[in-house]
A and B are shown apart, each in its own frame.
Chain A
Amino acid sequence: DVVLTQSPATLSVTPGERISLSCRASESVDTYLHWYQQKPNESPRLLIKYASQSISGIPSRFSGSGSGTDFTLSINGVELEDLSIYYCQQGNSLPFTFGSGTKLEIK
C-alpha cells in the first residue's frame, strides 16, 4: 500500500500568513494526489484534485503543486475559517490511502 506522510502534524499560524503543508508518498503516485479539508465535527471536503487542479467553490487562496512523491498544499493568506485538519489522499493505486493529516491552529 502507498503510505502518505504529512508534515508537520500541527502548524500554528497567524491569520494572513502564507503557509505550505507537505505530503510525501512512499512511491510515485504521478499526479493522482488529492487534498481534503475537515473542520471539527464535519465531513471532509475536497479542496484540490490531481495535485494542482482547483475545485469549484473553493477559495482561490488554496493551491496545490507537486508530482511523483512530493506534494504541497499552499494557503495564501490564512483566514480563521481555514482552521481545520488537512488530509492528502492518493488515487494512483488500490487501496486508496490517506495521510494522517496536518492540523492548523491559531498561534
Chain B
Amino acid sequence: QVQLKESGPGLVQPSETLSLTCTVSGFSLTSYSVSWVRQPSGKGPEWMGRMWYDGDTAYNSALKSRLSISRDTSKNQVFLKMNSLQTDDTGTYYCTRDLWETFDYWGQGVMVTVSS
C-alpha cells in the first residue's frame, strides 16, 4: 500500500527556513521519484521540485535559489528545505509520488503558516 506522509512545523517566522520531511512506504525511492507540491489556500497547486529515483533533483526556477530537496533512502525519507520564507509562502505542502510527471499518490499535506 503506497503511502506518503509529510511532517514539519506548522508555523515559521518570516525570513526563517522551512524544513519538511516526507516519509514514504509501499514503494522504493530508488524506483520512483518524489515531488513536492504546495498550494496556497483557495488557489491552484504549484510544483516546487522533484527528487528523481536516481538521486538527481529538479527545481521550479521560481524557487530554485531558495529550495533544496534531498533524501535518505535507508529511512525512506525525502526532505525539503526552503529559506527566506515570506508570508506568501503560507499554504499546504504536499509530497507526491511522481510517476513520469503525473502525481499518482499524495500525502495528506502539512499546513505551513509564515507569521511572526
Residues of A within 8 A of B (CB): 32, 34, 36, 43-46, 49-50, 55, 87, 89, 91, 94-101
Contacts and interface: CB of A to CB of B under 8 A. Distances in A.
B94 A43 contact: yes
Interface residues of B, number: 20
A98 B35 CA distance: 14
A45 B102 CA distance: 11
B116 interface: no
Contacts of A43: 94, 106-109
Nearest to B107: A43
B46 interface: yes
Contacts of A99: 44
B58 A44 contact: no
B103 A89 contact: yes
User: What is the interface of chain A mostly: helix, strand, loop, or mixed?
Assistant: loop
Nearest to A6: B44
Contacts of B109: 43
A44 B44 CA distance: 10
B45 A98 contact: yes
A98 B100 CA distance: 16
B43 A100 contact: yes
Interface string B93-113: 010000011111011110000
Given A44-B103, A45-B106, A49-B102, A98 B58 contact: no
**Which of A34, A43, A89, A98 gathers most chain B CB within 10 Å?**
A43
Given A49-B102, A91-B100, A97 B107 contact: no
Contact of A91 (B45, B60, B101, B107): B101
**Which of A34, A36, A55, A95 gathers most chain B CB within 10 Å?**
A95
Given A43-B94, A43-B106, A96 B101 contact: yes
Interface in B42-68: 43-47, 58, 60-62
A32 B104 CA distance: 14
A32 B100 CA distance: 10
A46 B109 CA distance: 16
